[in-house]
Chains A and B, each alone.
Chain A
Amino acid sequence: MILDIESFLPAGRLDNLTLAQDLQRWTPEEIFRKTGIQTRSIAREDETVVDLSANAANALLSRHSGRRIDFLILCTQTGDYKTPGSASILHGRLGLPQSCGAFDIGLACSGYIYGLALSRALLSSGMAKSVLLINGDTYTHYIHPKDHVCRPLFGDGAAATLLTSDSVAQFVEFELGSEGKEALKMLIPAGGERRRKFNITSESSPQDPEFLQMDGPEIYNFTLRTVPSAVATCMAKAGCSIADIDFFVFHQANGYMLEALRRKIGIPTQKFPVCLECTGNLVSASIPVALTQMRRAGQVHHGVRTLLCGFGIGLSWGACIVDW
């Protein structure tokens, strides 16, 4: 399944001599003895994981110019933005087709193996004939210059792996595991939800870069253009029509958009639940939360056929038909 691999290291370098001078703790030779590292590749301040990944991916894809990519998976913990995911941005940078799915997975040092496992699952299931798996991080941007523990160890870089259903190298076995109780033994404490790095004050403005920005009309336009087509394609692939679907459970974005989509696709009201009145837009949880409510109400049960459709940030979309 692994057809080809390429990597990219940024041009910046941090050698042990510089490190010894900065840390004033060990000699260059001692640093090498402790770490086995002479020099680290370091991304520029303005160089992000998408930049590194695009370099690796373009070098790889130049050797496979006729190959259609079905999925792009980016494994990173130092993405360009809190949202959207960096795979979406990389998808645009690489000029990949709309038919190519793109998503991030948030793992670090075990991430290549997990990425390979996911890729294998996509290929083995027939959902994809080719997967472009990217692994990349810019950890050095999150390490203090005086950190004598982490700074000698980490560097920045990215790698691109092309996996296909028709390549010779095959996976034999996987062994994956987690011990979540120890998850906080290695972390960046601030910047996530547990310790946000900003506060809303009287001087804050909705346009400040810390806050979610949304071009409502363009998102709406995107939705009107892509969702009906995705739904139609999904039904065509399954050989069914609106009449064969019991419920169309869409991402509960907002009532106005849902009604516009229902009208445009021609879905009868009784097949189109709108469940966000008491919750608001729950992002990726909106569909399963709606399904939970419908199951409790006895609407979704064994024998029911539903078409689920999510759309939004990325910009991305997905639809599937589930027979319960």
Chain B
Amino acid sequence: MNKSAFIREFAAIVGVAESELTPAFVLSNSAAWDSMGKMAALTLIDTDAKIEVPFNFINTCKTFGDVLTLVEPQLVGE
């Protein structure tokens, strides 16, 4: 999965426009960042992007940038 596709899918999960999903975006500002939202994000990262997520990672992510620190090095292309 490339970075553009990841951002597009993640934006859909948190219910914001792609342009709003900057590294500084605070995840808890989105009403969709609840238990189901986190599980959807885990599916995107683990199953679709095939990136293993460490235990307790998703709960410690405060911003989209925190998510990118894990996934960006393993995404293929822009």
Interface residues of A (CB under 8 A from B): 215-218, 220-222, 224-225, 256-257, 260, 263-264
Distance of A160 from chain B, by nearest CB (Å): 28
- Tell me which of B6-14, B15-23, B36-44, B69-77 binds A: B36-44
Chain B residue with Cβ nearest A225: B52
Chain A residue with Cβ nearest B43: A260
Contact B55 A222 (CB under 8 A): yes
Knowing A221-B53, A221-B55, say if A216 contacts B38 (CB, 8 Å).
yes
B59 within 8 A of A: yes
A sample of 25 cross-chain residue pairs with beta-carbon separation below 8 angstroms, ordered by A number, consists of: A215-B59, A216-B35, A216-B38, A216-B39, A217-B38, A217-B58, A217-B59, A218-B56, A218-B58, A218-B59, A220-B38, A221-B42, A221-B53, A221-B57, A224-B42, A224-B43, A224-B53, A225-B46, A225-B52, A225-B53, A256-B36, A256-B39, A260-B39, A264-B46, A264-B47
**What is the size, in residues, of chain B's interface with A at 8 Å between Cβ atoms?**
15
Query: A79 to B75, alpha carbons, bound, how many Å?
Result: 45
Beyond the given A216-B36, A256-B36, A263-B47, could you list 6 further A-B residue pairs with CB under 8 A, ordered by the A residue number? Answer: A216-B39, A218-B58, A220-B42, A224-B46, A260-B43, A264-B46
Distance of B4 from chain A, by nearest CB (Å): 22
Distance of B1 from chain A, by nearest CB (Å): 14
Interface of A (DSSP majority class): helix
Query: A309 to B58, alpha carbons, bound, how many Å?
Result: 25
Which residues in A have their C-beta under 8 angstroms from that of B38?
Answer: 216-217, 220
Which residues in B have their C-beta under 8 angstroms from that of A217?
Answer: 35, 38-39, 42, 58-59
Which residues in A have their C-beta under 8 angstroms from that of B46?
Answer: 221, 224-225, 264
Which residues in A have their C-beta under 8 angstroms from that of B55?
Answer: 218, 221-222
Chain B residue with Cβ nearest A260: B43
Query: A216 to B35, alpha carbons, bound, how many Å?
Result: 6
Which residues in A have their C-beta under 8 angstroms from that of B42?
Answer: 217, 220-221, 224
Distance of A256 from chain B, by nearest CB (Å): 7
Residue among B39, B46, B55, B59 with most chain A CB within 10 A: B39
Chain B residue with Cβ nearest A261: B47
Which residues in B have their C-beta under 8 angstroms from that of A215?
Answer: 59
Query: A81 to B8, alpha carbons, bound, how many Å?
Result: 43
Closest 7 CB pairs of A and B: A217-B38, A216-B35, A220-B39, A264-B47, A224-B46, A217-B58, A260-B43
Distance of A295 from chain B, by nearest CB (Å): 31
Residue among A216, A217, A256 with most chain B CB within 10 A: A217
Residues of chain B from 52 to 66 with CB closer than 8 A to chain A in the complex:
52-53, 55-59
Which residues in A have their C-beta under 8 angstroms from that of B36?
Answer: 216, 256
Contact B47 A224 (CB under 8 A): yes
Which residues in B have their C-beta under 8 angstroms from that of A221?
Answer: 42, 46, 53, 55, 57-58
Distance of A247 from chain B, by nearest CB (Å): 22
Which residues in B have their C-beta under 8 angstroms from that of A222?
Answer: 55
Which residues in B have their C-beta under 8 angstroms from that of A224?
Answer: 42-43, 46-47, 53
Which residues in A have their C-beta under 8 angstroms from that of B52?
Answer: 225
Query: A264 to B36, alpha carbons, bound, how many Å?
Result: 18
Chain B residue with Cβ nearest A315: B55
Distance of B17 from chain A, by nearest CB (Å): 24
Query: A189 to B46, alpha carbons, bound, how many Å?
Result: 46
Which residues in B have their C-beta under 8 angstroms from that of A216?
Answer: 35-36, 38-39
Which residues in B have their C-beta under 8 angstroms from that of A263?
Answer: 47
Distance of A44 from chain B, by nearest CB (Å): 31
Query: A224 to B45, alpha carbons, bound, how many Å?
Result: 11
